[in-house]
Amino acid sequence: MNKPTALPVNPQGTPLKGVRGQMLSFKDDPFLRAEQECYDYYTDGLIVMQDGHILDVGDYDQTIKNYPQLKDIDVYKDAIIMPGFIDCHVHYVQSPMIGSFGDTLLNWLNQYTFPTESKFKDKAFADEVAHEFFKQLLEQGTTTANVFATTFETSVDAFFEESERYDTRMISGKVLQDRNLPDSLKDSSAEESILLAEKLLKKWHHRGRQLYAIIPRFAPTSTPEQLRLAGELYQRYIDQGVYMHTHLDEVQSEIDWVTQLFPDQPNYTEVYRHFGLVDKRSIMAHCCIVREEEWQTLHQCDCGVAHCPSSNLFLGDGEFKYWEAKEQSRPVRVGMGTDVGGGTNFSIPRQLNEAYKVAMLHMRNLDAVKSFYLATRGGAEALHLENTIGSLAPGYEADLAVVDLKPSEFAAWRMKFTGDIFEKLFVIMTLGLNTINMATYVAGRKVYDRNRDRKYMYAADIDAAQQPHAPQESTTDPKTSQK
């Protein structure tokens, strides 16, 4: 990294920051248009960032001429700079039970998930888990996630407080669940649960980069009354950008249970729609076993869907069929989700690895263009944030991942036998390494750098370190000091 001797300033007085290297960014959906029209690729590009946003992107030689005052440029070789990855469905509260052995969804929930989530009433425990979760996300180059907390206020506050420290754009909220789960996790009543959700929504939605989601866990764990009140709350706030996030059509045993519980509805999607929960900012996780009329509803209502292949394989759920979701006559917005702790790792590129294999089981493939679109802009589209994050273009928020194209000695050797960048990226995602991300930028700050002494740094610590002669105080919790 080039260290400036003095802070360079632009005419408005705020410092510029540059990132230089090979770059890839998507601007359209390669499932629906010719692939070569869907991305911008620079062999030697420059991103100019200011105040958390991208000011300019282009070929280095051309772009640098317009910024003679720009001296602070991080240069990456043997790497490719992309928008930060987007995880459209993950449970931060399940981080302590990732990799739990041996059961299908409904038993697994009872055996591992509910007991673990019950512990989040304790704020100190919630803080510890949130802290570790963000480290995992940032290490893997994920800069935005759509996240389940759990029943308790403490679980929501711990999550958003940690997100604020990094200045990440995150979506989360209290989980609504008032039946068919242990008392230790159950909402005391439908009315109380909605009052608490609204209180948290008012506290966190649009506070800095934080966004709120109304989260009925899934239809079986909410009474009809809770779903009705959740739908009312969603409809009251939808025009302020509030989300609805839930699970849908994951596994046959779950679908059968929903049929028993809601016999008047013709399918699972209609259960949610009946209560006003299917709308333009509704995000549905899984969607492995979906009827044609449900895809049509998801399309008409402009919902987003999270494809979570590592979780679907681990829990033996079923397979997401992207060719159904992306049917040209009624395409649906799709992004990737890790679904930790059903998912077995925090890496979005490793989800792409599993997505390819799931598609191959059905004699379909998934190339690197479509895959990395899903990991970035596809996720932003699923979350209706495609004008804010997920692409490298002027005006977008400056969230970046820097993918190492030689993440191991063997990978470096294997690269000798590859051709263009998409061939390289396909090999990288297929090797499935946990070490492919070199650095992560959030709102223009390098919050993760695997080669730095302090790998993870909060926004305030980075700002303090950049002030000339400022004392280097840390806002990091010393108990869990980050290295």
What is each CA distance from 156 to 162, 310, 315, in whole angstroms?
A: 10, 25, 26
For the CB of residue 311, give the shortest distance to ligand GUN in the complex, in Å. Answer: 5
Which residues here bind Zn ion, judged by CB under 5 A? 285, 339
User: What CA–CA distance (Å, rounded) separates 309 from 286?
Assistant: 8
Looking at 96-104, 105-113, 376-384, 431-439, which segment touches ligand GUN (CB under 6 A)?
105-113
SS3 367: coil
Asked if residue 341 has a cis previous peptide bond (ω within 30° of 0), the answer is yes
Q: Is 20 in the site for ligand GUN (CB under 6 A)?
A: no
Position 217 contacts ligand GUN (CB under 6 A):
yes
- Closest residue to bound Zn ion by CB: 339
What's the min distance (Å) between Cβ of 1 and ligand GUN? 40
Among 55, 105, 176, 358, binds ligand GUN (CB under 6 A): 105
CB of 346 to ligand GUN, least distance (A): 15
Phi/psi of residue 401, nearest 5 degrees: -115, 145
Measured from the CB atom, the residue of 205 and 247 that comes closer to ligand GUN is 247
Residue where the block lists tokens 């679907």: 312
Radius of gyration, alpha carbons of the chain: 22
Which backbone phi and psi does 390 adopt, to 5 degrees? 95, -5
* Nearest alpha-carbon partner for 462 in 450, 478, 475, 451: 475
Give the one residue of 153, 162, 249, 339 binding ligand GUN; rule: CB under 6 A. 339
15 makes contact, choosing from Zn ion, ligand GUN, none, with CB < 5 to 8 Å by partner type, with none
Site string for ligand GUN, 168-207 (x = CB under 6 A): ----------------------------------------
**Contact between 311 and ligand GUN per CB under 6 A:** yes
Question: Which two structure tokens, joined as six digits, stand for 269?
Answer: 């999607």
217 is in the binding site of which of ligand GUN, Zn ion, none (Cβ under 5 to 8 A by kind)? ligand GUN
Give the per-residue contact string, 346-385, with ligand GUN (x = CB under 6 A; - = no). Answer: ----------------------------------------
3-state secondary structure of 100: coil
Would you count residue 424 as binding ligand GUN (CB under 6 A)?
no
Determine the size of the site formed for ligand GUN (CB under 6 A).
Answer: 11
Secondary structure (3-state) at 282: strand
Please give the structure tokens belonging to residue 72: 């602070």
59 to 98: interface string for ligand GUN, x by CB under 6 A: --------------------------------x-------
Query: Which of these, 44, 78, 140, 21, lies nearest to 415 by C-alpha position?
Result: 78
Strand ordering across the sheet containing 400-404: 53-59, 39-50, 17-26, 73-83, 400-404, 437-442, 445-449
Q: Tell me which residue of 258, 362, 251, 359 sits closest to 311, measured CA to CA.
A: 251
Q: Is position 247 an interface residue for ligand GUN (rule: CB under 6 A)?
A: yes
Q: Report the SS3 class of residue 441.
A: strand
Tokens read off for 371: 């895959």
By beta-carbon proximity to Zn ion, the closer residue of 286 and 370 is: 286
Minimum CB distance to ligand GUN smaller for 109 or for 149: 109
Residue whose CB is less far from ligand GUN, 315 or 439: 315
Q: Closest CB to ligand GUN among 113 and 376?
A: 113
Give the H/E segment covering residue 26.
strand 17-26
Of 249, 367, 224, which Cα lies nearest the Cα of 319? 249
Cα–Cα dist 395/405, whole Å? 28
- Among ligand GUN, Zn ion, none, the one that 113 touches (CB under a kind-dependent 5 to 8 A) is ligand GUN
**Minimum CB distance to ligand GUN smaller for 144 or for 311:** 311
185/85 Cα distance (integer angstroms): 31
Nearer to ligand GUN (CB atom), residue 162 or residue 250 = 250
Q: C-beta of 303: minimal distance to ligand GUN in Å? A: 17
**What residue ranges bind ligand GUN (CB under 6 A)?**
91, 105, 109, 113, 217-218, 247, 250, 311, 339, 342
